[in-house]
Amino acid sequence: MFLAAKLMGVDRRKTKSPEQKPWLPVLLFCLVTGTFLSCLQNGFVNLDDPSYAWQNPHVQNGLTWESLKWAWSNTESSNWHPLTWMSHLLDGQLYGLNPKGHHATSVLFHSANTALLFLLLQRMTGARWRSFLVAALFGVHPLRVESVAWVSERKDVLSTFFWILTVWAYARYAAHLKSKISNFKWFYGLSLLFFVLGLLSKSMLVTLPFVLLLLDYWPLGRWGLTPARRLLLEKIPFLMLAAADSAVTFVVQKKSGSVTPADAMPVPLRLANAVVSYMRYLGKTAWPVDLAAMYPHPGHWPTLTVVGSASLLAIITALALWRWRTMPYLAVGWFWFLGTLVPVIGLVQIGRQALADRYSYIPSIGLFMAVIWTAAKLTERWRNQAAFAGTAGVAAIAICIPLTARQIGFWKDSKTLFGHALDVNQRDWIDTAYLATEFERDGQLDEAINLYQQSIQINPYHGEVRYKLAGIMLQRRRFEEALEQFQKGVALEPNDFALNQGLGAVLQDMGRLDEAIVQFNQVLRLKPNDADTYSNLGNCYGLKGRTEDAIRCLAQAVKLKPQSAQNHRELGVGLERGGRLDEAIQQFQAALQLDPSDVLTQRCLEEAKAAKPASTR
């Protein structure tokens, strides 16, 4: 009952020292770890996890000199975050492909973040129980599940670990500077170091310099005591690092095709979605149900929805500005929430989502600070505030824990994850396609075909889904239906390599060789050095009796992919048809060196030797 009476922070005296109750951060750590422990029962999911973990050869090999060089140089998954990659490499070294270990690392980071957040807020504000409740709600809220239960989102928990350490070092710097303690510069340098480590984990930390300015106002109380010029100059190194990281991230994401072009989604649509998304984040924080791995972008929001959201945002912002002197925590927490969401609110549209649970990881801290400190202020004259506030705090935590445990269960495997997402968003073509892929992987092709067709009905303008559906049709030897999907896909995305290559392949299988030759030449214009396309084109030429063209293409396939036994064998067949038996025999022998068990190649070699005149054998 003592804990319940104190939770809302009604003790107005500042704590003498954060170490006075050392069991509180331990309690938080254990509470969060226990809440998220069921993550260890989950496996990997087919949403980025293949590239971040179980299909990544570098992660499988663990910490090696080659993998470390790769971590610092690669831009896979449309990001440059070498420190995050290093954490995955370490997991690969320690746990191999056992998902329990990978999940355990994320859970431990999140638990540590929760405990450190409490210690940080308590140090800066002196309000022990308010800090405790902010940290507890941050730790066990259902919106945290995506960041913790999804192995690929290690970057969230890792970068926030360094975010909190950055603020801690900065707060120590500010306190030592105010007290004129000589080693204040050391803490400033330490905060810069932690900030760099955070940026190397996830670029979302670019907003941290602005949060430091907010904290200068409250709770650090530096505004008015420290010249404004100095406060700004202190942030310049942080801003320069943030600008450099932002530039690198934008270039990487644009190069990978993740950035939606302006003509595909005009600025007014982006602004409308940003305004609505802010309110949706508020709603999901207050009522965390129907959470999903994907919230598809609707394209257009109803005018009334946009106007209503903008009005509510304006009212809350005006209230925060109006009470910024008497209730500084309201303004700081609110602008923390607004500002830290800016990189992911959709002004620069990355991906296909309108918003995502994981994006609320850091912004929610500001929101909880604003709400809890404001609630404590508004109820400070209540006679039974302690009992009421404490009970309310315990109730909020008690409600969150089972909701979070339930949400963790949806990340058990890919089918469960995407099936739940479809329950939440029944018109979501993306999750429909993901679920179809899972049925296809399990060999349930009829179910996969049905779901791919549903996805196309919802959104007929995405070539990738048509490519996957066409692939199943090819397996079923339903060539006309496969051809239709490939043709429509190429019409939608004329520069897509896979769609163009698939169209050529189905034309070849249907015996429409002239059309297939034209199509494979188009594929080579998109990707001039693709060995498989040269192989397919060479086979088409061979079937048309254009032997020299066939040999030319098949020789190029061997040159580009010399480790392929099939390429050597196919070139050997072409050379044999052209009467170049010695060269054909050399290719068959090269193929057998690569694959000694290939019976077909062995037969081709024997036939080529038998075709030679007896005097030259």
pLDDT tens per residue across span 291-322:
999 998 888 899 999 999 999 999 999 999 99
The span from the CA of 96 to the CA of 89, in Å, is 9
Instruction: Please state, rounded to an integer, the average pLDDT across all residues of the chain.
Output: 92
Q: Which pLDDT does position 383 carry in this prediction?
A: 82
The 10s digit of each residue's pLDDT in 506-523 is 999 999 999 999 999 999
Which residue spans of the chain are classified as CATH 1.25.40.10? 529-617
The span from the CA of 244 to the CA of 519, in Å, is 43
Q: Which pLDDT does position 297 carry in this prediction?
A: 87
What are the residue ranges of helices labelled H in 43-153?
49, 57-61, 65-73, 82-95, 99-125, 128-140, 145-149
Q: Which pLDDT does position 611 carry in this prediction?
A: 83
Domain 529-617, CATH number (from 1.25.40.10, 3.30.300.30, 1.20.1730.10, 2.70.98.60): 1.25.40.10
The 10s digit of each residue's pLDDT in 87-101 is 999 999 999 999 999
For residues 571-592, give the mean pLDDT. Answer: 94
Q: Which pLDDT does position 182 carry in this prediction?
A: 67
Kindly tell me if the per-residue pLDDT of 234 is higher than 80: yes
The span from the CA of 458 to the CA of 17, in Å, is 58
User: Which residues partner with 20 through β-bridges?
Assistant: none
Q: Which pLDDT does position 21 carry in this prediction?
A: 79
Q: Which pLDDT does position 103 carry in this prediction?
A: 98
Q: 58-79 burial by CB neighbour count: b if 16+ within 10 A, else e? A: bbeebeeeebeebbeeeeebbb
For residues 198-218, give the mean pLDDT. Answer: 97
Q: What's the pLDDT band for 612 if we cut at 50, 70, 90?
A: confident
The span from the CA of 298 to the CA of 452, in Å, is 20
Q: Which pLDDT does position 76 carry in this prediction?
A: 75
Instruction: Give the residue from 56, 76, 58, 75 showing the smallest Cα distance to 67.
Output: 58
Q: Which pLDDT does position 298 carry in this prediction?
A: 87
Q: Which pLDDT does position 75 carry in this prediction?
A: 83
- For the entire predicted model, the pTM comes to 0.88
Kindly tell me if the per-residue pLDDT of 15 is higher than 70: no
Tokens of 197: 């480590």
Q: Which residue has the higher pLDDT, 149 or 10?
A: 149
Lowest average pLDDT, out of 230-234, 384-388, 407-411, goes to 384-388
- Find the Cα–Cα–Cα–Cα dihedral 332, 336, 337, 343, rounded to 10°: 160
Q: Which pLDDT does position 322 carry in this prediction?
A: 97
The 10s digit of each residue's pLDDT in 25-74 is 999 999 999 999 999 999 999 999 999 999 999 999 999 999 999 999 98
Kindly tell me if the per-residue pLDDT of 260 is higher than 80: no
Kindly tell me if the per-residue pLDDT of 368 is higher than 60: yes
Q: What percent of the chain has pLDDT over 90?
A: 83
- 3-state SS of 91-110 is HHHHHCCCHHHHHHHHHHHH
Q: Which pLDDT does position 614 carry in this prediction?
A: 59
The 10s digit of each residue's pLDDT in 404-440 is 999 999 999 999 999 999 999 988 899 999 999 999 9
Q: Which pLDDT does position 2 carry in this prediction?
A: 35
Instruction: Give the residue from 53, 54, 284 showing the smallest Cα distance to 155.
Output: 53
Give the Å distances, CA to CA, from 387 to 4, 31, 84, 382, 462: 7, 22, 43, 10, 56
Q: Which residue has the higher pLDDT, 616 or 243?
A: 243
Give the Å distances, CA to CA, from 594 to 535, 562, 597: 17, 10, 9
Give the Å distances, CA to CA, from 402 to 30, 178, 289, 396: 16, 44, 11, 11
